[in-house]
A = this chain, B = another copy of it.
Amino acid sequence: MKILVDTMGSDKGSHALVTGAMNAATKWEFEPILVGDEQEITNVISEGNWKIKPQIIGLNEVISNDESPTLAIRRKKDSSMVKALELLRDGHADGMVSAGSTGALLAGGMLILKRINGLKRAALTSIYPTTKGMSLLVDAGANVELTPETLTQFAIMASIYYSNTFNITNPRVALVNVGTEKGKGHSFAQETYGLLEKSPVNFIGNIEAREIPFGGSDIIVCDGFTGNIILKLTEGMALAMVYRVKKAVMSSFISKVGALLIKPALTKMKKDLDYREYGGVPLLGLTAPVFKAHGSSDDYAVENAIGRLIDFIKADVIKQLEVEIKGE
């Protein structure tokens, strides 16, 4: 198996991408193709102690998060992201991981790799840690404006991916809405509800945002605008709650002692909320496997993202998606 790793465009520089890729290649025995700044890649490799020799494709144009995704993909032909997507398209590898601009990766995926037949858009998913385990949110912010038909296709794809990843048959699919009853919400939500009812997924109805952190559904379905709000507010609330607890606890000597005693327990809790454990998510709807790792991924997160990608390739999830979308 050959896996392309776009080593550029991450918040933490090439180091995490190269190290994560080399550790993963050692663990799962695939051939890594590292695409990015040749000097930087060579430096990291020479410092490490890996037996595997990676293929290196030197390119030093980088796409940043601030650029218009579509323009960047069209103009920056010498960027590591465009090059990796082209190599994937031309069959030089079985899959690819990038920690670069999400928008550019999605735009590039759609322009260079093409979409599965019958799909208008590709979906961005996000793993959402709940008190019960892991939910999968779709769309995670890439498609801020989309039709009920497209969102229903996203729900079908997310359902298949979730089944494969967590080994759960018929995961519970719910639509984010302002109330649980049918007929609630704006016309977009009402139409999507009707389509999800008729779709092959295990649709359990609407979910109110209050239930999302408690794992009220396995698949959380919403437009990308709402998805972005949910993900960022969840992050902000977690940080704000920790800030509030710290401030409250630091207000007296006795509670400071108490805080010391509960610290190990809280460290374990933080691990449950850590995106690094999961690593990365696929762009669903493309004709080849592309995984997005978090922009601030360290080497451990990159390694896990590659592990997920390998599972995705082995299960031939794309074939399953093609069958289901075609049959719809």
**A131 partner, pick from B234, B238, B240, B249, beta carbons under 8 A:** B240
* Distance from A167 Cβ to chain B, minimum over Cβ atoms (Å): 25
As a 0/1 sequence over residues 253 to 274 of chain A, the CB contacts with chain B under 8 angstroms (1 = contact) are: 0110111111111101100110
- Which of A50-58, A84-92, A206-214, A289-297 contacts the other chain? A206-214
Say yes or no for A226: interface residue by CB 8 A criterion.
yes
Say yes or no for A168: interface residue by CB 8 A criterion.
no
- The docked-state distance in angstroms from the alpha carbon of A322 to that of B255 is 51
Residue contact A233 to B213, C-beta cutoff 8 Å: yes
Say yes or no for A245: interface residue by CB 8 A criterion.
yes
As a 0/1 sequence over residues 65 to 109 of chain A, the CB contacts with chain B under 8 angstroms (1 = contact) are: 010000000000000000000000000000000000000000000
- Count of this chain's copies in the oligomeric assembly: 2
Task: List residues of A (218-252) whose CB comes within 8 Å of B's CBs.
Answer: 224-226, 228-241, 243-245, 247-249, 251-252
* Distance from A256 Cβ to chain B, minimum over Cβ atoms (Å): 9
| Count of chain A residues near B, Cβ 8 A | 61
* Distance from A159 Cβ to chain B, minimum over Cβ atoms (Å): 22
- The docked-state distance in angstroms from the alpha carbon of A130 to that of B249 is 18
Q: Which residues of B contact A176 (CB under 8 A)?
A: 229
Q: Which residues of B contact A236 (CB under 8 A)?
A: 209-214
**A261 partner, pick from B181, B245, B254, beta carbons under 8 A:** B254
- The docked-state distance in angstroms from the alpha carbon of A229 to that of B210 is 8
Residue contact A209 to B185, C-beta cutoff 8 Å: no
* Distance from A301 Cβ to chain B, minimum over Cβ atoms (Å): 19
30 A–B contacts from the bound complex (CB under 8 Å): A131-B244, A141-B178, A178-B225, A178-B228, A186-B225, A189-B225, A209-B230, A209-B233, A210-B232, A210-B233, A210-B236, A212-B233, A213-B239, A214-B236, A214-B240, A226-B226, A229-B230, A230-B233, A233-B237, A234-B237, A241-B241, A245-B266, A247-B269, A252-B265, A255-B261, A255-B264, A258-B259, A258-B265, A259-B261, A259-B262
Q: Which residues of B contact A228 (CB under 8 A)?
A: 178, 209
**A255 partner, pick from B235, B240, B262, beta carbons under 8 A:** B262
- The docked-state distance in angstroms from the alpha carbon of A252 to that of B266 is 11
Residue contact A257 to B261, C-beta cutoff 8 Å: yes
* Distance from A61 Cβ to chain B, minimum over Cβ atoms (Å): 22
Closest 6 pairs between A and B when the two form their complex, measured CB to CB: A258-B261, A213-B240, A237-B237, A258-B262, A210-B236, A209-B233
